[in-house]
Amino acid sequence: MENGSGTRRWPAEGRVLRAAIGVLAPVALLFFLGVAWNRSTSAFARVESFSEEIAAAARDAGIDPPLLAALVYVESGGRPSAVSSVGARGLGQLKTAAAEEARAWLGRRPADPPLSPLGSDLEDPSTNLRLAAGYLALLAERFRDPDLALAAYAAGPSVVSSLLQETGGNRAAAVARLRAKTGGAGEYIRRVRSFEERFRERGFPVN
Nearest to 93 by CA among 136, 61, 64, 55: 136
Q: Does the pLDDT at position 60 exceed 50?
A: yes
Mean pLDDT of 125-149: 96
Nearest to 90 by CA among 45, 130, 145, 34: 130
pLDDT, tens only, 8-18: 555 666 666 66
Instruction: Say what percent of the chain tops pLDDT 90.
Output: 67
Mean pLDDT of 29-41: 48
Supply the range of the domain harboring residue 167.
Answer: 49-201
Mean pLDDT of 141-155: 96
Asked if residue 149 belongs to a domain, the reply is yes
DSSP string, 98-126: HHHHHHHHHHHS--SSPPPPP-S-TTSHH
Q: Does the pLDDT at position 112 exceed 60?
A: no
Tell whether pTM > 0.85: no
Task: State the CATH number of the domain containing residue 57.
Answer: 1.10.530.10
Residue pair 50/91 in contact (Cβ under 8 Å)? The answer is yes
Asked if residue 146 belongs to a domain, the reply is yes
Asked if residue 64 belongs to a domain, the reply is yes
Asked if residue 106 belongs to a domain, the reply is yes
Q: Does the pLDDT at position 40 exceed 80?
A: no
Asked if residue 133 belongs to a domain, the reply is yes
More confident position, 162 or 207: 162
Per-residue pLDDT at 116:
64
Quick one: how far is CA 198 from the chain centroid? Answer: 12
Q: Does the pLDDT at position 81 exceed 60?
A: yes
Per-residue pLDDT at 110:
74
Q: Does the pLDDT at position 37 exceed 50?
A: no
Task: Measure the CA–CA gap between 88 and 175, rounded to whole angstroms.
Answer: 25
Strand partners, 8: 2
Nearest to 193 by CA among 134, 150, 163, 161: 150
Report how many domains make up the chain: 1
Rg of the Cα atoms in the chain: 24
Asked if residue 19 belongs to a domain, the reply is no
Q: Does the pLDDT at position 32 exceed 90?
A: no
Alpha helical stretches, state H, the chain: 10-48, 51-61, 65-76, 96-108, 125-143, 146-155, 157-166, 171-180, 184-201
Asked if residue 140 belongs to a domain, the reply is yes
Per-residue pLDDT at 35:
42
